[in-house]
């Protein structure tokens, strides 16, 4: 599949069981296991409001603060106290995305039922990632070190889900218009 192709897999009989349209795309995404007992705390953090609700400062003062933050990050790295950097372009990978979850092929090994923290940037111009708590619903190994993993969102703020759905629609609109680079942010 290309970076902007859609999935045509749908049930052949009976009502369609999918709540959201899905597309193949490539986005910056980072996933990590959620330790047992921490799922509820993460779900509560997600339900209380998305990162996108925080105001993004503009102007010369904001630029100066970002510059200072970058310098502090370099000092932390030099001292061996580095913090995890936010999800960004180096985390870009192909995946199938919908408002209900995502799937991907990779070297990561997850077990069905495991909780996963997902951060991704849908390429909508907002620098803050979508944060979701997901559950592994499928984990198939291909025997060559690759795994097909499917995740369903167990907790995601509705405004973040809307950002994902808007990305899916933008990819599909681009595909229908015949554009090859239909995926925003790709």
Q: Where are the domains of the chain?
A: 23-54+87-176
List Cβ neighbours of 102 (8 Å cut-off, separation of 6 or more).
Answer: 29, 95, 96, 118, 120, 134, 150, 151
* Mean pLDDT per 10-residue interval, the chain, length 186 residues: 38 58 91 92 84 59 75 72 73 94 93 95 85 96 90 95 93 83 48
pTM, full prediction: 0.70
Contact 103, 151 (CB under 8 A): yes
CATH class of 23-54+87-176: mainly beta
């Amino acid at each position: 599949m290309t970076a902007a192709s859609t999935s045509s897999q749908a049930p052949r009989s009976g009502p369609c069981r999918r709540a959201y349209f899905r597309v193949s795309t490539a986005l910056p995404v980072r996933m990590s296991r959620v330790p047992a007992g921490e799922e509820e705390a993460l779900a509560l953090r997600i339900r209380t409001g998305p990162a996108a609700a925080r105001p993004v400062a503009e102007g010369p003062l904001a630029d100066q603060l970002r510059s200072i933050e970058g310098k502090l990050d370099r000092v932390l790295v030099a001292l061996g106290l580095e913090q995890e950097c936010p999800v960004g372009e180096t985390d870009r990978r192909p995946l199938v995305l919908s408002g209900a979850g995502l799937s991907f092929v990779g070297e990561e090994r997850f077990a069905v039922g495991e909780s996963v923290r997902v951060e991704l940037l849908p390429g909508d111009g907002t620098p803050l990632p979508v944060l979701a708590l997901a559950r592994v619903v499928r984990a198939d190994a291909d025997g060559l070190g690759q795994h097909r993993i499917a995740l369903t969102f167990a907790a995601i703020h509705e405004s973040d889900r809307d950002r994902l759905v808007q990305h899916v629609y933008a990819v599909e609109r681009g595909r229908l218009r015949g554009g090859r680079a239909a995926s925003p942010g790709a």
